[in-house]
A and B are shown apart, each in its own frame.
Chain A
């Protein structure tokens, strides 16, 4: 029970050394009236065998259908070596590397991670991760406001993930920061740079620029970045890391590149895991590194001049500056970053480019087959990356339910978030989908729409 190694003999010897009559006596400083009664809802203990049976039954119940949902979390193949290595006890059960000499493994790995993320995003520096993409965007907004000093408003396109926008709102609103929503082009599914002109001359700290955006659509990132800079705002890029193997990195957007870049790291070797743990990444220009929240690892030397790694710029952090810290964040997502680093090392630039290309090509092939099928159509005419909006002739949730009955999760229902689109689905087919999988999707999709057509004319 409770994984306690003590024998009766140990307990007696220890109590004698303390000079206490019983274990219970060790709690004598707690006022008696505060002592808890027995637990009521925690059940009696199970053996490991019994817990195993219980959990297997529950996991079996949740056996997953073929999944074509993306919307911020993507099913990619994870090389077997990634989690074999990540769950080694020396990574898995290590603590935050405050004693650098005893944590060189984790520290060097995090330095390698920072190097890979800086290069992938085209930025100068990366931190060692945040909770997830959505909360990383909130921290980027707070960081931009700290850097800008005079403005407390941020331009937030409606093409940014709608749930992420809500997360940002819940985190930044207490500091009187306002998010101003930017509309999108209903034909292209993108933010029109000219539509920003009405905000010219107003005081904003930053413009958020998603690439690809929530619809999978590619934005005019050069024009948007340059517009932000021309109007004394920071440009915050929000990107999918897989896409960066193919798409121009935020550090190269416009004349001088984005200032802060964030995104969800889950596509880099992290299982879907019902939503977490994932990790957020954050990178920025060198000039802003002291305003960046979270852990940062630096290379340095030891007493003998030997190269080594340590946490650095800790004066930004809560355990040093308390109420003056850049954020209250006191942890990162170390183990997820371990997996992502090993994933990137195993894919390399060529492997990641192939994953990105195959994911994009699969989505395109699916989109081509759906366009025009039984009243469905592709909603936007702009170029996209690996995710596409399909407009439907009937309610998206009804189509999804039909498809689920045929063993397919058909996509993300956009209707509650973008009612102006009518009935629409966001669909994603990554490299994990075979030709047969795509055919199965098309069949189930067509069946659902045709059944609807029949009933309509019956």
Chain B
């Protein structure tokens, strides 16, 4: 049932209703609403019961294993949430003076410093609201850098085909055209193709590393050299930072920009699709272009936000305020709980879990996309052969996993590998959870060979069976009309 179907005209909930309606007769008739908006008219209990029941129809980290490649669904420590919700931070107005926010600003300043440290970059801005907005900031800074030098003939961004789909979309938003660079059969960037593509029109390269193929780009030093020698800048997509935290610093490798998805590596919950936070780190030469506001510490030890006047070359503001402060606070608490000694453990155990799972699935009879390579924090299984033999596709295996209480891995991404599952267990899962996943995968493989039709009909245990996506797009029903 929809919340609207619990409603009855004239029912007023006591939770919010002020005792009486104040006088608004000074607003002239021409401006006034004539019909009531269709918001639910339900009691507090009806609403509580309805949304509690809805929540129970979700898979979530708190209830299920979520081996979702490239999305890093790991445990979100409870302390991060509790401490981000303290009233001093939560009730503060974004335009309140800095004098009433020294505790907050000190915290954000320290977070900037920690992120500089783990990325090896010269400066960090916390303001991008999500990874994709961080990417936008990164490419906009590349553009601002070339423009400031009068180097305006650079019109093209290079994007390896093993990158996230946001990379090409971001380059377009920043006014560039995109040239895709192919991957070789080992999963590394094809250097010859890269050399052929680079030229005076190259503004920069966006590199996802480890790539969405689940492997570390081994030729990264050569790639950097090729781009920099052509006068382009290098962008590090930090979406997969979990795999290298404390092990490799993109700044030390010579990259000019990186964005970080704090909701992944720094463990803030995905919330059903957001909010995230996508801070950007830059090399010295890009520092003047960082998006504002930035948190600064004055000589007297006080903290404040730097704005346009003090940062004339900034690419500007990307949102009305500071960015997703609540997410930043959670990331800060997480960083303090881990400390310097915990940071590299993230990468170590994410990598251990991924390689263990890859080895065990290989033994269970699954084809690995890159069997000769080390997994990073994720790896790819390809079901091409199974699909040919039985008709059971990656999607079917994904849906059948749901029946066993495990969220599906990422399916059909990256686009380069046929019938693929991109699997990322993360460091917070115990060996028992991984063994159970292998057991279930083995069972599904048997099922597929014995009774393909049954697997293709999955799931059977959820509130709905397989949904008709084509109908959803063709017969658009985007709002309740009652």
Contact = CB atoms under 8 A, between A and B. Distances in A.
Nearest to A122: B37
A83 to B, nearest CB: 8
A175 B462 contact: no
Interface string A229-265: 0000000000000001111110010000000000010
B248 interface: yes
A330 B131 contact: yes
Nearest to A129: B274
A58 B103 contact: yes
B63 A349 contact: no
Given A101-B467, A273-B89, A342-B51, A350 B17 contact: yes
B390 interface: no
Contact of A161 (B320, B337, B340): B320
Q: Max chain A CB contacts within 10 Å: which of B23, B79, B274, B429?
A: B274
A90 B132 contact: no
A329 B319 CA distance: 14
Contacts, number: 681
Interface string B16-50: 11101111101110111110111111101001101
Q: Max chain A CB contacts within 10 Å: which of B58, B269, B472?
A: B58
Interface string A105-116: 110111110111
Given A273-B326, A332-B273, A310 B469 contact: yes
A275 B322 contact: yes
A91 interface: yes
B229 interface: no
B32 A88 contact: no
Given A116-B39, A275-B94, A34 B252 contact: yes
Contact of B87 (A2, A30, A59, A320): A59
B471 A301 contact: yes
Contacts of A125: 476, 478-479
A392 interface: no
Interface stretch (B194-202, B350-358, B440-448): B350-358
A115 B276 CA distance: 24
B170 interface: yes
Interface on chain B toward A: helix, strand, loop, or mixed SS? loop
Contacts of B322: 274-276
A297 B480 CA distance: 12
Interface in B358-400: 359-360, 373-374, 398-399
B473 A313 contact: yes
Nearest to A77: B16
Interface residues of B, number: 198
Interface string B293-333: 00000000000000010000001111111111111000001
B279 interface: no
B275 A90 contact: no
B15 interface: yes
The size bracket of the interface on A is 35 or more
B272 interface: yes
Given A42-B118, A120-B37, A276-B323, A58 B431 contact: no
A369 interface: no
B35 to A, nearest CB: 9
A167 interface: yes
A43 B12 CA distance: 52
Nearest to B82: A52
A163 B340 CA distance: 38
A34 to B, nearest CB: 5
Contacts of A110: 272
Contact of B131 (A23, A92, A331): A331
B132 A330 contact: yes
A195 interface: no
Contacts of A278: 320-321
Interface string B133-168: 101100010010000000000000000000011101
Interface stretch (A4-12, A181-189, A370-378): A4-12
A400 B475 CA distance: 55
B193 interface: no
A56 B86 contact: yes
B88 A357 contact: no
Contacts of B103: 57-62
Given A94-B60, A357-B24, A248 B274 contact: no
A151 interface: no
Nearest to B40: A345
Given A51-B83, A272-B92, A348-B12, 14 more contacts: A29-B215, A36-B247, A62-B102, A81-B15, A101-B399, A105-B53, A128-B273, A171-B173, A274-B326, A298-B473, A312-B476, A334-B275, A345-B3, A348-B11
5 contacts: A10-B431, A14-B356, A26-B351, A322-B165, A351-B16
List the 9 closest pairs (A to B, CB-CB), nearest first. Answer: A45-B339, A275-B321, A335-B271, A58-B103, A89-B62, A170-B316, A59-B88, A275-B94, A334-B273
